[in-house]
Amino acid sequence: MELPKATNTSALSGAGVMRLFNKVGETVNKITYKMDESDPWFEEKTQQIENLDTQLRKLHSSVETLVMHRKDLAILTAAFAKSAAMLSNCEEHTSLSRALSQLAEVEEKVEALHNEQANADFSVLCELLKDYIALIGSIKDVFHERVKVFQNWQHSQQMLNKKREQKAKLELSGKPDKGNQASVEVVEWEAKVERGQEEFDNISKMIKKELERFEVNRVKDFKAVIIQYLENLMTHQQQLIKYWEAFLPEAKAIA
């Protein structure tokens, strides 16, 4: 079964966040780096994002199944309409035959409504969830990127320590030429450590800022989508009632 393409993806406030994160995360190697997290904010957020990922995936698959099921319901309703129409054709009793034929027409309208609702649920709920699963994927990527930056910094720190030891040994053993060379390297690695720490601080700060924005947009998006989902449902239910209400006098007119 072909599901319609969602049209409201670009309207998501979260999409901007995703684009930014995608740029940062482009070169991210997916191997999991371990680091001793010193920032409780990141520890908490990482866990939270993991949970959100798991639950959104479950909800997405549940909604997708519901959408497919509603599509099937539309097909079955069409079959019911056809059966009622055929029964109407072979029905000798005039007003019963007319009522059955009108029941068939109403069921055809109900079929269209089931399809509409399946499409609406898909383009509203499914697409939101799909987009947020992708966004969360990007967030997990930048978390990995931050770990990589951290390890780069730690590597520079280790190298600096080694160079300092070498320099101290050379100075003690009275090799001033080599000592000078070592001094240059120490200065180089000091700069790398400084740059590494800066990079790590920057990416940590940027992630915090972007995640705050993400949280605000996420609540806004979910609120809008839940309301739109409800309003669609209610519109469809009300239309269904109108169809049945219009048909009821026909059923009562069977005589």
Residue 93 or 175 with smaller CB distance to its own copies: 93
User: Is 40 among the residues that bind its own copies (CB under 8 A)?
Assistant: no
Minimum Å gap between C-beta 43 and its own copies is: 14
Q: Which residues lie below 8 Å from residue 210, measured CB to CB, with a gap of 6+?
A: 17, 20, 21, 142
Minimum Å gap between C-beta 19 and its own copies is: 23
Q: Which of 145-177 are b and which e, b meaning 16 or more Cβ less than 10 Å from the residue's Cβ?
A: bbbbbbeebbebbebbeebbebbeebeeeeeee
Minimum Å gap between C-beta 1 and its own copies is: 15
User: Is 48 among the residues that bind its own copies (CB under 8 A)?
Assistant: yes
Tokens 């309409």 label which residue?
A: 81
The Cα 217–Cα 18 span in angstroms is 12
User: Of 251, 22, 233, nearest to 135 (Cα)?
Assistant: 22
Binding part of the chain for its own copies, among 2-10, 78-86, 178-186, 203-211 by CB under 8 A, reads 78-86
Minimum Å gap between C-beta 128 and its own copies is: 12
User: Is 28 among the residues that bind its own copies (CB under 8 A)?
Assistant: no
Residue 29 or 61 with smaller CB distance to its own copies: 61
Cα 71 to chain centroid, rounded: 23
Residues 158-197 that bind its own copies (CB under 8 A): none
The Cα 78–Cα 244 span in angstroms is 16
Sequence-distant contacts of 54-60: CB under 8 A, at least 24 apart: 56/129, 56/132, 56/133, 56/136, 57/133, 59/129, 60/126, 60/129, 60/130, 60/133
Binding mask 194-233 for its own copies (x = CB under 8 A): ---------------------x--xx--xx--xx--xx-x
Q: Which residues bind its own copies (CB under 8 A)?
A: 48, 51-52, 54-56, 58-59, 62-63, 65-66, 69-70, 72-73, 76-77, 79-80, 82-84, 86-87, 89-93, 95-96, 99, 103, 215, 218-219, 222-223, 226-227, 230-231, 233-234, 237-238, 240-241, 244-245, 247-248, 251-252, 254
